């Protein structure tokens, strides 16, 4: 799963033309797009090869469904970039596909390998899905509010990439026409200035786009935790519950 995740990020950084990843130069910035695409391909093919060797075809299906899902999410996001008409439901569909299916698959794979009942397998799959949505919602908040050195990404990078995430979608829905024009200008500008970014962050504050998104992230994290109710107490369960709290409280 880690190899598939790495592959998807190497490809994503090419798609987004991202200069950094986790606070360091991205693979595409260091070695170029061609190498990033090919090494990414190698990683996810190698991951599938390892699962085929293991011989559990249910596990293989969990993993291949994930690769299909995340790719669909990326394509959906790309086709909706710069589209100020995107609504919360469409945004959540992208988030579910782009990010949550991977976390869901990690939990689902554990359930398959652990040979738990169908009911518990579904519970773990749902835990991962809601956890993944909570994670991405928090990530989209951090893109606007984090300290760059701690987050490892440039502040406002979603806006620069033409990505409309929930904080901005909420503000767009609530703001005045002149303010909407400011947001559109910022989205379409080739070089987003610090002044423009500052103005957008002001609008996110004014229309509570950040607070709304943070609250929704906490709701998803709570829903994730509720899926674990049928599991009896264990340190593993405690770790998963703590993870759900961590994704909405992290600052980097």
Helix (H) or strand (E) holding 104: helix 101-113
CA distances from 216 to 23, 114, 179, 186 (A): 27, 31, 24, 25
Kind of pairing between the strands at 20-21 and 24-25: antiparallel
Q: What is the x/- site pattern for ligand FPP, positions 82-121, by CB under 6 A? A: ----------------xx----------------------
**Measured in whole angstroms, how far is the alpha carbon of residue 153 from the centre of its chain?**
14
Half-sphere CA count of 127, side-chain side, radius 13 A: 27
Q: Which two tokens stand for residue 9?
A: 């990020």
Least separation in angstroms between CB 88 and Mg ion: 21
* 160's tokens: 């620069």
Binding map of ligand FPP across residues 153-182, x = CB under 6 A, - = no contact: x-----------------------------
Burial of 239 (0-12, 13-18, 19+ CB in 10 A): exposed
Span interacting with ligand FPP, options 5-13, 53-61, 173-181, 240-248, rule CB under 6 A: 5-13
**Alpha-carbon 43 to chain mean position:** 20
Q: Per CB under 6 A, which region of 10-18, 54-62, 78-86, 104-112 contacts ligand FPP?
A: 10-18
Q: Is 70 in the site for ligand FPP (CB under 6 A)?
A: yes
Of the residues 4, 124, 141, 142, which one makes contact with ligand FPP according to CB under 6 A: 4
Choose one: 50-58, 63-71, 117-125, 227-235; the region binding ligand FPP (CB under 6 A): 63-71
Residues that bind ligand FPP (CB under 6 A): 4, 7-8, 11-12, 15-16, 18, 40, 44, 67, 70-71, 74, 98-99, 153
């Amino acid at each position: 799963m880690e190899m598939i995740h790495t592959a998807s990020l190497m490809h994503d950084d090419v798609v987004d033309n991202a200069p950094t990843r986790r606070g360091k130069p991205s693979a595409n910035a260091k070695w170029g797009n061609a190498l990033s695409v090919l090494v990414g391909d190698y990683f996810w093919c190698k991951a599938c090869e390892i699962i085929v060797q293991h011989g559990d075809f249910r596990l293989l299906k969990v993993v291949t469904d994930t690769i299909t899902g995340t790719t669909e999410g990326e394509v959906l996001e790309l086709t909706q970039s710069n589209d100020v008409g995107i609504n919360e439901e469409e945004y959540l569909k992208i988030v579910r596909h782009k990010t949550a299916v991977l976390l869901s698959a990690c939990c689902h794979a554990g359930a398959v390998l652990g040979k738990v009942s169908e009911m518990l397998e579904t519970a773990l799959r749902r835990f991962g899905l809601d956890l993944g949505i909570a994670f991405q919602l928090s990530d989209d908040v951090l893109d606007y509010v984090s300290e760059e050195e701690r987050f490892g990404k440039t502040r406002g990078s979603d806006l620069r990439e033409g990505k409309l995430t929930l904080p901005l979608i909420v503000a767009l829905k609530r703001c005045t026409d002149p303010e909407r024009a400011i947001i559109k200008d910022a989205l379409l500008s080739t070089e987003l200035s610090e002044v423009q970014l500052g103005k957008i962050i002001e609008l996110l504050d004014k229309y509570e786009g950040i607070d709304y998104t943070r609250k929704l992230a906490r709701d998803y994290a709570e829903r994730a935790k509720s899926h674990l109710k049928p599991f009896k107490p264990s340190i593993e369960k405690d770790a998963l519950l703590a993870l759900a709290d961590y994704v909405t409280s992290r600052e980097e």
